[in-house]
Structure 1
Amino acid sequence: MTTVAVIGCTHAGTFATTSILQHHPDWQVHVFERNATLSFLSCGIALWAGGHVSDPKKMFYSSPEQLEQLGASMHMRTDVTYVDVNAKQLEYKDLETGDTQALQFDKLVVTTGSRPVIPPIEGVNGKRVLLCKTWDDAVRIKETASQGKSVVVIGAGYIGAELAEQFSTINIHTTLVDGADRVLSNNFDKLITDQVEAKYRQHGVKLALGQKITKFTETEDSVTVVTEKGEYTADYAIMAVGFRPNTDLVRDQIDTLPNGAIVTDEYMRASNPDVFAAGDSAAVFYNPTGREDYIPLATNAVRQGLLVGANIETPTRKYMGTQATSAVQLYDLSLAASGLTQGGAAVRGVDTVSTELVEDYRPAFMLSTAPVTSILTWDPKTREVKGGQFCSTVDISGAANVTSMAIQSKFTIDDLANVDFLFQPNFDQPIYFVGAVAMKACAM
């Protein structure tokens, strides 16, 4: 009988385990998870803090019991302490009893996820400095939202941006700190982030941008975040500055990116073909650049996890890569994007140009309409679509999915400009804004 060891069970681990047992119900699958829960949707933490979650138990879509019913041997609250990839052996410790054991495996699935980036800053491990990743973190943040009167959120990416928004809507004095000079600088270009920053200011959020933190100082009832340019005191601070792959167990035994993300082939196999990786522990193939990249998103984790089961015995189904398609709602603004921004292209050394368009999403004769900001990023030589960003007070999330398919299919701006998009006054203009911005690009 084939024995599989799955280390880590959030999104990638949950879907990998499910997929393996669906394809091979007679295999012995051992799942190791440090926490007491699995499948936690951490994207809901900010919404829970702001009072927009009906039941926090619904932030979990699976459980140890469900995986056991499929046939998995679950080792919850268990830490894998050692892995020998070539010898196909691991050692693990029960965090409740302290007991240690070893397991011989035939296949190894590394779905250890990521851990928060914690910069080596004085005071960063203080009691009033919280993280935003796990269920335990979520509980502490929810308590902060119900008891605190002020907070400093550190990091203006998606997670920090959502936390700052939600805290400000429940009358908690909020300061948002980031070393970059714009909010969401890795996700959107300036034409859109300017609109987001205006919303923050309208809701009383203090923006402390372009500021690096030098230390934290705590008292009995407050924490002060000290930056190069100022000091910000609040009841709590929340670190949300990003994630790094949690792959120390195997990092020196298989090929990784410099940051530790495991490099896999298109069948999710690592450099050792009996080792598979998925989710935040793994690199992704980023279609806009045609290169390996590190993009920790639940969508990537789910798709990669499912492929582990399909390919764990025989290479069968290829990974199609990712465009890092994502969206966020901040106040009344809907923001969605796929692929490269102009800033992201510059960081990666990719030559692109961007075309911007602001126009109402439906005809002027309608009783109401609203402007949509569209930014299309494309290769000036091949004319291939490389990215799209959209922002409006109406739901424009579908535009990011359209752009994602265009990038994956290697559409040019000419192709995108001639797609058969619907027209109906309730929904859009005679020329859908995605097609319209592509037409503007073609005219350049």
Structure 2
Amino acid sequence: MKVAVIGCTHAGTSAIVNTAKLYPDAQITVYERNDNISFLSCGIALYVGGVVEDAQGLFYSTPQQLAELGVTTKMLHEVTSVNTDAKTLTARDLKTGIELTDTYDKLIVTTGSWPIIPKFEGIELDNIVLSKNFNHSNTIIEKAKSARNIVVVGAGYIGVELVEAFEMNGKQVTLIDAEDRILSKYLDPEFTARTEELLTSKGIQLALGEKVVKFNGENGKVSTVVTDKGEHAADMVILCIGFRPQTELLAGQVDMLPNGAIIVDKYMQTSKKDVFAAGDSCAVFYNPTRQHAYIPLATNAVRMGTLVARNLVTPTNEYMGTQGTSGIKIYEQNIAGTGMTETSARLAGLDVETSTFQDHYRPEFMPTHETVTLKVVYEKDSRRILGAQIMSEADLTQSINTISVCIQTGMTVDQLAFVDFFFQPHYNKPWNYLNSVGLQALAPVEAKQPVTI
């Protein structure tokens, strides 16, 4: 069995390693256009901030390790075309320019995503950089050495983590976003407001509700970022506006969402037989809405890549869908979320209610007893849990993984109230905060019959 793999980051590495182990006789060839594989891009801010000193720790595989599994890895090879009917692909060696054609029995597409780059005037100026791969991280670190005023465009996870890292390195930092609050895709206003206060208290300038119009420069380097509401001095600009799937190779050959994300079935197969896909190039089945959606996350990617290998020959393990569960640490605050926010649920036209619990997470007689804020979003009629968010100086983020399971299994908020959780004063109260947020949501009991004593 000849297996061709296009792209080798999270999903690609998982698919390759598991395919090699499950099918030791398979002939696996990997095409990767970069000079490295399996880089943990979620660690860029940690690397930039100096928390991670050795960048090699952000790689979890190498071509040499894949070779030990019998895998042929063609680095700096860009696949230029794929014919899924003929089962062929063409690739160009980026060092020599020589093109080659290969055949396959099974094709695994893990081409990932790429940052969205709007066509702003002045986008070609020096010191305007992206934040996606290992080379980007090295460029950011090098250019930041001589930069005083750093502007980050895009207030998602990456943008927020970067401004924190730069502020801790003594830089003057501005965070720009067209939305009127940060992390708007992940958190509701009561959480983002507290996070914004935390950032501004550290001297970070927030330019929210501002749309970038153009970049001005001096001597070929960026000097200011111009928005529809003002200008911001910048020696360096990092674009973190979002990501789009890199799926042009399969355009018109497999089913996709309007944004180009490949649609796969529960066994990770595309609409074309023997063509599988995983990771940021794909749409995922989003359990809260029970529809396909584009949610590029490393956790989705490694699960999907592993499932590709297990289903490559025979449909074996079904994809269970995702809740888009994620977390972030901003200074001393630990924040996590899963599923839909109240904001996103209402925008989707869902009739929802919420329950928010705020209290000390463990007994007050303990030496410390930080406050936890937990919010659960659920359907009004069915009571089905759709999402949750948590925030605390104590690291309670793993609780969101528990609610992720609740969403995945279709649990109601009423059931959450009475789930069996242990009690130990080091960790919680007799009523765990997960129970408590469910108890608050319980509908009042109506007496059906007269009570006699």
TM category (shorter chain) comes to over 0.9
Measure, in 1, the Cα distance between the counterparts of 2:81 and 2:57.
Answer: 34
Shift of 1:348: 2.8
Q: Which amino acid aligns with 1:331?
A: Y
Could you say which residue in structure 1 is the equivalent of 2:369?
A: 369
TM-score if structure 2 supplies the norm length? 0.96
Taking every aligned residue pair, what percent have the same amino acid on both sides? 46
The question of whether the paired residues in 1 share the 8 Å contact of 2:386 and 2:407 is answered with yes
Gaps (5+ residues) in structure 1? Answer: none
The question of whether the paired residues in 2 share the 8 Å contact of 1:342 and 1:377 is answered with yes
Could you say which residue in structure 1 is the equivalent of 2:239?
A: 239
Query: Are 2:226 and 1:205 aligned?
Result: no
Could you say which residue in structure 1 is the equivalent of 2:135?
A: 136
Shift of 1:395: 0.2
Measure, in 2, the Cα distance between the counterparts of 1:301 and 1:366.
Answer: 40
Partner SS for 1:147: coil
Shift of 1:250: 0.3
Correspondences of 1:20-419 after superposition (within 5 Å): 20-220=19-219, 222-419=222-419
The question of whether the paired residues in 2 share the 8 Å contact of 1:50 and 1:145 is answered with no
Partner SS for 2:249: coil
Measure, in 2, the Cα distance between the counterparts of 1:54 and 1:237.
Answer: 23
Q: In terms of mean alpha carbon deviation, does 341-350 or 408-417 score higher? A: 341-350
Measure, in 1, the Cα distance between the counterparts of 2:169 and 2:344.
Answer: 33
Give the CA RMSD over aligned residues.
Answer: 1.1
Q: Which amino acid aligns with 2:249?
A: L
Q: Which amino acid aligns with 2:354?
A: S
Measure, in 2, the Cα distance between the counterparts of 1:442 and 1:147.
Answer: 57
Shift of 1:58: 0.7
Measure, in 1, the Cα distance between the counterparts of 2:350 and 2:10.
Answer: 31
The question of whether the paired residues in 2 share the 8 Å contact of 1:279 and 1:302 is answered with yes
Shift of 1:59: 0.6
Deviation sequence 1:178-219 (CA, Å, 0-9, x none): 000011000000111111001111100000000111101122
Aligned residues: 443
Measure, in 1, the Cα distance between the counterparts of 2:308 and 2:123.
Answer: 37
Q: Which amino acid aligns with 2:269?
A: R
Could you say which residue in structure 2 is the equivalent of 1:434?
A: 434
Deviation sequence 1:110-169 (CA, Å, 0-9, x none): 100001011121122322111000111000111233332220000000000100111111
The question of whether the paired residues in 2 share the 8 Å contact of 1:84 and 1:90 is answered with yes
Q: Which amino acid aligns with 2:15?
A: A
Measure, in 1, the Cα distance between the counterparts of 2:119 and 2:354.
Answer: 37
Shift of 1:443: 4.2
Shift of 1:323: 0.7
Measure, in 1, the Cα distance between the counterparts of 2:262 and 2:350.
Answer: 23
The question of whether the paired residues in 2 share the 8 Å contact of 1:289 and 1:350 is answered with no
Measure, in 1, the Cα distance between the counterparts of 2:223 and 2:134.
Answer: 23
Measure, in 2, the Cα distance between the counterparts of 1:433 and 1:242.
Answer: 34
Deviation sequence 1:312-331 (CA, Å, 0-9, x none): 11111100110111100001
Q: In terms of mean alpha carbon deviation, does 167-176 or 419-428 score higher? A: 419-428
The question of whether the paired residues in 1 share the 8 Å contact of 2:144 and 2:236 is answered with no
Q: Which amino acid aligns with 2:293?
A: D
TM-score if structure 1 supplies the norm length? 0.98
Q: In terms of mean alpha carbon deviation, does 256-265 or 418-427 score higher? A: 418-427
Partner SS for 1:249: helix
Measure, in 2, the Cα distance between the counterparts of 1:166 and 1:83.
Answer: 41
Measure, in 2, the Cα distance between the counterparts of 1:313 and 1:4.
Answer: 11
Measure, in 1, the Cα distance between the counterparts of 2:331 and 2:116.
Answer: 27
Measure, in 2, the Cα distance between the counterparts of 1:143 and 1:398.
Answer: 35
Partner SS for 1:415: helix
Shift of 1:72: 1.0
Deviation sequence 1:200-253 (CA, Å, 0-9, x none): 111000000001111011223543111000101121000001100000010211
Measure, in 1, the Cα distance between the counterparts of 2:79 and 2:411.
Answer: 45
Shift of 1:346: 2.6
Q: In terms of mean alpha carbon deviation, does 181-190 or 366-375 score higher? A: 366-375
Partner SS for 2:299: helix
Could you say which residue in structure 1 is the equivalent of 2:448?
A: none
Partner SS for 2:15: helix
Shift of 1:106: 1.2
Measure, in 2, the Cα distance between the counterparts of 1:274 and 1:349.
Answer: 37
Gaps (5+ residues) in structure 2? Answer: 445-453
Measure, in 2, the Cα distance between the counterparts of 1:232 and 1:178.
Answer: 13
Measure, in 2, the Cα distance between the counterparts of 1:102 and 1:78.
Answer: 12
The question of whether the paired residues in 2 share the 8 Å contact of 1:49 and 1:145 is answered with no
Q: Which amino acid aligns with 2:117?
A: I
Q: In terms of mean alpha carbon deviation, does 390-399 or 359-368 score higher? A: 359-368
Measure, in 1, the Cα distance between the counterparts of 2:273 and 2:311.
Answer: 11
Shift of 1:332: 0.6
Partner SS for 2:215: strand
Measure, in 1, the Cα distance between the counterparts of 2:19 and 2:154.
Answer: 37
Measure, in 2, the Cα distance between the counterparts of 1:332 and 1:83.
Answer: 48
Q: Which amino acid aligns with 1:134?
A: N
Partner SS for 1:303: helix
Measure, in 2, the Cα distance between the counterparts of 1:64 and 1:80.
Answer: 18
Shift of 1:423: 1.4
The question of whether the paired residues in 1 share the 8 Å contact of 2:285 and 2:322 is answered with yes
Deviation sequence 1:245-273 (CA, Å, 0-9, x none): 00001021100000000000000000012
